[in-house]
Amino acid sequence: MTREAFPTVPTLPIATVLPVETDSSQLSPRAALPLSPFHEIQSEHVGTGGSSPDSAPLPSLGSSRFHFCPVSLLMSAASSTAAHSSDYTQLSQQLLQKLQNKQAIVGVVGLGYVGLPLANLFHQKGFRVVGFDIDQRKVDALLAGKSYIGHIPDSRVAELVADGRFIPTVDFSKMREIDTVSICVPTPLSDYRDPDLSFIESTGRALAPHLRRGHLVILESTTYPGTTEEVLRPILEQGSGLKAGVDFFLGYSPEREDPGNPNFSTSNIPKVVGGLDPESQAVSVALYSQAVPKVVGVSSMEVAEACKILENTYRAVNIALVNELKVVFDRMKLSIWEVIDAAKTKPFGFQAFYPGPGLGGHCIPIDPFYLTWLAKRYGLNTRFIELAGEVNTRMPRYVVEQVIEGLNQHRKSVRGSKIGIIGIAYKKDVDDPRESPAFEIIEELLHLGADISYHDPHVPTMPRMRKHQLRLSSEALTESWLSGLDCTLIVTDHSAVDWNLVARSSKLVVDPRNACGKVAGPRENIVN
C-alpha cells in the first residue's frame, strides 16, 4: 500500500461528540457519532439452555438486550442530521427486518481459512450466502463439493452447494444481489515489513461498482486502527458514487478464528463489532447476532480494529517472554516446562504461554507490526513489540543450534546427517503451513548440508520454499523411518502423532514443543 493512502493523521479523538447545532451533513459520519458506552449484546439462548441460536430472535432496534440503546442512538442521529438521515434510518430498518426474517442474502469475500468457515456458519444459520473469491480454483473446488480446509470436510462443502443456498463465485457483479458483505482477504506484510493492504484495496475496487444503497460492508481482515475509515471507505465511495453513512453502512468486526482449537470455532467465539455510525453499528450487530451467541459492540470501527491488534500483540509478547526464559533456563539446566506447569497452579494473575521453535501462521508474527508501522506515523516507537519480534524470530536459529549440539554429542556433524522433521504446519492439528517456522529451520539445515525428510499427517506434500525447491512428500511415521534418522526434530506437536513411537525409535530427538514430555521410559535421547 502507498503512504498517499494516509494523507492525514486523525486529529479528532475517536469518540468525539460534535456540538448538536453542527450540521453533520457536512461532517464525516464517524465524527458525528454520539459517544456510546462499551456495550454488549448477548443472544437470549446463552445460558438459558432453551432456545437455539437458530431460533433466537434478532435484537430489534428497541430490544432491551442492547445494553446501549440503538433506538435512541438512531433517533438522536436522525434528529441532529440533515434530511437524508431519515432515509438512511429507513434503510437500516429495512435491512434489520431482512436480517431478522433471514431474507437477507449474506456475502463473504475471500473464501480462505477465515471466509469459508464464516460462509459455512451463515449457511448453517439459514441464510442464503454468496462467497466471492478471485481464485477460480477455489470456486471450482467448492462447486465440485471439494474442501481445501482441513476442518471442513468435503461432505459439508457438498451440502453447502447442493441446496442452492451457497453460491461460490468470481463474479463480483453478484454483489448487487446481496445485502451484506464481510471481507476476509489477506493482510500480510510487505518485503519491508510494512502493512500490505493491497488485497483490501483491490477488494474495495472490485466491490465499489456494484455497491447499492442499503448495502452493509464489514471488513474482517486483521489490520491497524483506521483502515476501514481511511483506506476502504474512500475506495468504496469513489468507485460507487455513494456515501458511507448516507447510502450504505460500514463496519469492522475482527475475525478471531483459532484453527485447530477443539473448543472454539467461528460459531462460538464472541464477535466484536464497531460501526461507522449508529445505523451501521445496529445492522452489523444484527447480522452477527444471527450467527454467534455473543456480539460485543464497541464505540467505533477503530476500537474494534485496535482490539484485534491488542489480542495478537498480547500473545506475541507473552510468547517472546517464555521463549527468552527458555534460553535462560536451558543454560541453567532448568526445565521451562516444569517451571510453567508449577507457575500455572497459581489460580490468579498468571496465564501460561509456551515456548516453541518460532512463531507461525497468518496472525501473531504479522499483526503486531501493523501497529508498529502505525505508531511511527504518530512519532512513537513500539519497543515492546519490536523486542518481542526480535526474540521470537531468533527461535528457529536456537533450535538449529540445539540440533547441532545434539548431533555433536553423538559425534556427528549436520553435514550428511539424516534429519527428520515432524510437523510442517505452523501449529498443532492444522493443515496450514503458511509462515511456519519449519521452513526457516529446514532451509538453515539444508544450508548446513543435512539430508531432510519429514512427516506431517496434515500436510501430505511440502509446499514451495523461498530458497529451495524440495519436492518432498510426508513419510509414513514408522519405526524404520525414525530409526534410520540421525536426528528427529519436532516442529509441530500434532495430536495424531504417536510420541511414544517417536521417542522409542529415534536416536536423538530435539523437541522444542515438549511433545514427548509425557512419554514414559528413558529420556536420554530427548533434548527439549
Asked if residue 112 binds ligand NAD (CB under 6 A), the reply is yes
Asked if residue 359 binds ligand NAD (CB under 6 A), the reply is no
Set 307, 363, 487, 516: catalytic member: 363
- Whole-number Cα distances in Å, 174 to 119, 133, 239: 15, 12, 16
The grid coordinates of residue 161 equal 452447494
CB of 47 to ligand NAD, least distance (A): 26
Binding span for ligand NAD by CB under 6 A among 69-77, 180-188, 274-282, 480-488: 180-188
Asked if residue 222 binds ligand NAD (CB under 6 A), the reply is yes
**Closest residue (Cβ) to ligand NAD?**
112
> Other CB atoms closer than 10 Å to residue 374's CB: what's the count?
22
* Side-chain-facing half-sphere of 178: CA atoms under 13 Å: 29
Asked if residue 202 binds ligand NAD (CB under 6 A), the reply is yes
Asked if residue 221 binds ligand NAD (CB under 6 A), the reply is yes
List, as own/partner pairs, every contact residues 193-198 make where C-beta atoms lie below 8 angstroms and the sequence separation is at least 24, other chains included: 193/369, 193/373, 194/1, 194/373, 195/1, 195/223, 195/224, 195/369, 195/370, 195/373, 195/374, 196/1, 197/1, 197/5, 197/223, 197/227, 197/231, 198/1
Asked if residue 178 binds ligand NAD (CB under 6 A), the reply is no
Q: Applying CB under 6 A, which of residues 111, 181, 322, 391 lies at the interface with ligand NAD? A: 111
Q: Applying CB under 6 A, which of residues 185, 291, 295, 491 lies at the interface with ligand NAD? A: 185
Binding span for ligand NAD by CB under 6 A among 236-244, 252-260, 407-415, 451-459: 252-260
Which strands, in side-by-side order, build the sheet including 128-132? 39-42, 294-298, 271-275, 249-252, 216-219, 180-183, 105-109, 128-132, 166-169
Asked if residue 232 binds ligand NAD (CB under 6 A), the reply is no
Asked if residue 199 binds ligand NAD (CB under 6 A), the reply is yes
* Side-chain-facing half-sphere of 387: CA atoms under 13 Å: 9
Tell me if residue 363 is catalytic: yes
Nearer to ligand NAD, 138 or 271 (CB): 138
Asked if residue 107 binds ligand NAD (CB under 6 A), the reply is no
Asked if residue 132 binds ligand NAD (CB under 6 A), the reply is yes
Q: Are 100 and 202 in contact (CB under 8 A)?
A: no
CB of 206 to ligand NAD, least distance (A): 6
Q: Applying CB under 6 A, which of residues 30, 271, 362, 458 lies at the interface with ligand NAD? A: 362
Measure the CA–CA gap between 125 and 123, rounded to whole angstroms: 5
Q: Are 280 and 246 in contact (CB under 8 A)?
A: no
Asked if residue 269 binds ligand NAD (CB under 6 A), the reply is no
Residues whose CB falls within 8 Å of the CB of residue 3, separated by 6 or more in sequence, listed in order: none
Nearer to ligand NAD, 30 or 362 (CB): 362
- 8-state DSSP, 105: E
Q: Applying CB under 6 A, which of residues 10, 115, 251, 365 lies at the interface with ligand NAD? A: 115
Asked if residue 113 binds ligand NAD (CB under 6 A), the reply is yes
182: nearest Cα among 115, 228, 238: 115
Nearer to ligand NAD, 235 or 462 (CB): 235
Asked if residue 138 binds ligand NAD (CB under 6 A), the reply is yes
Q: Are 132 and 226 in contact (CB under 8 A)?
A: no
Measure the CA–CA gap between 459 and 455, rounded to whole angstroms: 8
Active site amino acids: 363
Give the footprint of ligand NAD on this chain (CB under 6 A).
Answer: 109-115, 132-135, 138, 184-187, 199, 202-203, 206, 221-222, 255-257, 259, 362-363
